[in-house]
Structure 1
Amino acid sequence: MNILILDWRDPKNPRSGGAEVITFKYAKHWARTGHSVCWICNTFPGCSRNEMLSGVKFIRVSPNLGFTVFELIFTYPLFLSAAILKAFRLIHTQKIDMVIDEIHGLPFFTPFYSRARNVLLVCEVAGPIWDKMFPFPISLIGKFLEKVIYYVYHNTETWAISQNTKKDIFDLNKNSNIKILPLGIDFKKRPNVKKFSFPSAVFLGRLVKMKGVESAIAAAADIAKKLPKFHLYIIGLAGNEYLDFLKNLAFDLKISKNVTFCGRLTEEAKYKLLAQCHFLLHPSYKEGFGLTVLEAGLMGTPTIARTGSSLDNLITHAHNGLIFTNNQNISNLFINYYSRQQYQKLQKGATKLATRYLWNKILTKL
């Protein structure tokens, strides 16, 4: 079978996230099992326009998407047009059997030009993300367009990555043809390191407003008032303007010495830090699934996550992680659990949860 994937990023893009990890895992699996897989995505500085990775052919089209909201407003329509044109040519010159149209705010509108088996892949329905990421009235326009977009796809086969995402899709278009795509993580042996001797937490993800990194920094300030040696490690990339804002926020809260911005780490360094910290702080306002929760759990590190973000479907409060309802709860939960006997229960629960979602168990069932 010839499979075409349309996505705004690919796993080598510096701003790729969990969605690209998931898609690439399936793409590699399909390639290994004899299918031809091509992936159209956006360029990024220093990339190759055409590249073969693990049996998957990548075709990257420009222009590079910007970091800021206003850069995205101007560059995204140009990228989308170029990607659709490239996809149209491939679909009509080669025998493409299945097109996976991955939506992140905007899809690739495959029902209008593809007669192949079209699949809409949804990691999350944006919903409140529009308000967090875009100013008014763009946020209002985005939420309206999202409803229209899902109506366009109401007869299209749809894959959702979680039960919550499936419900969000159904609420928008009443599509009954929605399948939940099983997700997983690769097994990683826990490095031979101990938890830090001081209270610690880590934030892991793209540094954008909807991921709630500002809430993590505010919580760090509250925790440091009672635990002065507390340290927060922030793993992830941001645009220069937003990164400066976050650093200034830490400075204004008088916790610059308590916060380390790590940038993007190697996998080895990332897992080592996950193993050393006491908690993963995950204050994201909206998540499709929550791979970082599982990655941390595999390292024996439980998560403190926001209720309503979809992660409360993954985490059972006080069993394999903690759920907070407002930002003040983050510091209270951390202080109440990090050095007590219940913490070991959370560790064991988080590890047990993670081992249920290993790729080698999931892919063998497909």
Structure 2
Amino acid sequence: MRILWLNWRDIKNHEAGGAEVLTHEIAKRLAKKGHKVTLFTSRFQGSESHENIDDVDIVRDGGKYSVYGKAKNYYKHNKDHFDILIDEINVKPFLTPKYVKEMPIIALIHQISPEQFTYELPFPVGIIGRYFLEKKWLSHYNNISTVTVSESTRKSLVELGFRKVSVITEGLSVIPLQEAARKEDTFTITFLGRLKKHKLPDHAILAFKKIREQIPNSHMNVIGDGYLLRKLKKMNIENVTFHGHISNKEKFNILSRSHLALIPAVREGWALVVVESNAMGVPVVAYSVPGLVDSVQNGINGILLSQNTPDEMANISISLLKDESKLRRLTETALQYSKRFNWDSTTEQFEKILLDNT
């Protein structure tokens, strides 16, 4: 197959997240299977307009907002070179059902984004986006074969009128440890994610503040970058280290020596950080929200909170840190849980959907 894949970011974009990891891991495996994969995406500072990464052809044009119009133009001038199109939707869709008539479309949606509109955009734009724009945009995809990564998102899409939704399992880009690594001598908590409002990094830090009241020598790592970094630093919570954007090697080293990972959010598609933490022998304490209720198996690879508040996150974390045997069991089962996931299986599932639609 000759595949045209549209996404707003690629794996080299400094704002790339779990969605871009999935895109790249699947795309490079499809390329190795003999499919020709072209990813059309936006430009970013220092990027090349054309690049080949792991046998995937990357074409970059336009910025964060103009990439959608550039993608439409690219399609119109190159449609004869492709057999199928993947429209990956992250908040704003490419709206390909309005102009792609010559080939099948597969929509790839990690999560719907009602909360992101109101958390990330000013009033009244956020309200318009949440209650009108998203529903209007996505209505164009009701009869399009759609792929998502969690049962939570599938249910949300069906409620919006989608008729053809398949769920694929997520993979894992790091090899799980054979056994949990030696932990830091002092209790260490880690938050991993983009520092944006809808990720609620401030909730994790507030939870740690309360943890320190009970366990004064504990330490927190914050791994990730974003516009909230300066504001979070101004919270002036002691024993918190902000690492910013770091290499995977550094990230996994820090994770492996942590006792717990805190994952608050308003909504996730799945949250790769859950199984990445588990693969390093780190259980998670997470909010009970769509996406996290799919990736966190309560009592196996982490704990889902009954109340999504910093206080409850702190209380559960403290109880785990003070119960050595329970924390050790949860660490072991979390590590075993992570070994279920691999990108080869994910790619097989995704490829079957592509073949069934061509």
TM-based fold match above 0.5: yes
> 1:188-242: CA deviations, max 9, x gaps?
2539841111111111111101011010111111111111112111111113xx2
Which residue number in structure 2 is paired with residue 176 of structure 1? 163
SS of the residue corresponding to residue 146 of structure 2 reads: strand
Q: How does 1:272-283 map to 2 (within 5 A)?
A: 272-283=253-264
Mapped contact 2:264–2:286 kept (Cα < 8 A): yes
Gaps of 5+ in 2: 353-358
Measure the CA separation in 1 of the matches of 2:76 and 2:259. 49
RMSD in angstroms over aligned alpha carbons?
A: 1.6
1:362 Cα offset (Å): 4.4
Gaps of 5+ in 1: 66-75
SS of the residue corresponding to residue 108 of structure 2 reads: strand
1:360 Cα offset (Å): 4.1
SS of the residue corresponding to residue 160 of structure 2 reads: helix
Which residue number in structure 2 is paired with residue 335 of structure 1? 318
SS of the residue corresponding to residue 121 of structure 1 reads: strand
SS of the residue corresponding to residue 46 of structure 1 reads: coil
Correspondence for 2:282 among 268, 280, 301: 301
Which residue number in structure 2 is paired with residue 355 of structure 1? 339
Mapped contact 1:100–1:120 kept (Cα < 8 A): yes
1:313 Cα offset (Å): 2.3
Which residue number in structure 1 is paired with residue 28 of structure 2? 28
User: Is 1:106 paired with 2:59?
Assistant: no
User: Is 1:123 paired with 2:107?
Assistant: no
Measure the CA separation in 2 of the matches of 1:189 and 1:306. 24
Q: How does 1:1-366 map to 2 (within 5 A)?
A: 1-63=1-63, 65=64, 76=65, 78-91=66-79, 94-115=80-101, 116-143=103-130, 144-173=132-161, 175-190=162-177, 193-239=181-227, 242-249=228-235, 251=236, 255=237, 257-324=238-305, 325=307, 326-340=309-323, 341-363=325-347
Q: Which is bigger in relative contact order (C-alpha 8 A, separation at least 6)?
A: 2
TM value normalised by structure 1: 0.90
Measure the CA separation in 2 of the matches of 1:153 and 1:302. 37
Measure the CA separation in 1 of the matches of 2:143 and 2:73. 23
Calculate percent identity across the aligned residue pairs: 30
Mapped contact 1:19–1:123 kept (Cα < 8 A): yes
1:30 Cα offset (Å): 1.0
TM value normalised by structure 2: 0.92
**Distance change >3 Å, CA 273–CA 57, structure 1 → 2:** same
Measure the CA separation in 2 of the matches of 1:4 and 1:364. 18
Mapped contact 2:286–2:304 kept (Cα < 8 A): yes
SS of the residue corresponding to residue 81 of structure 2 reads: coil
Q: How many residues align?
A: 344
**Distance change >3 Å, CA 314–CA 47, structure 1 → 2:** same
Measure the CA separation in 1 of the matches of 2:196 and 2:348. 35
Mapped contact 1:320–1:345 kept (Cα < 8 A): no
SS of the residue corresponding to residue 128 of structure 1 reads: helix
Mapped contact 1:198–1:230 kept (Cα < 8 A): yes
Measure the CA separation in 2 of the matches of 1:142 and 1:362. 31
Mapped contact 1:193–1:272 kept (Cα < 8 A): no
> 1:109-153: CA deviations, max 9, x gaps?
111111211011000100222121112211111121111112111
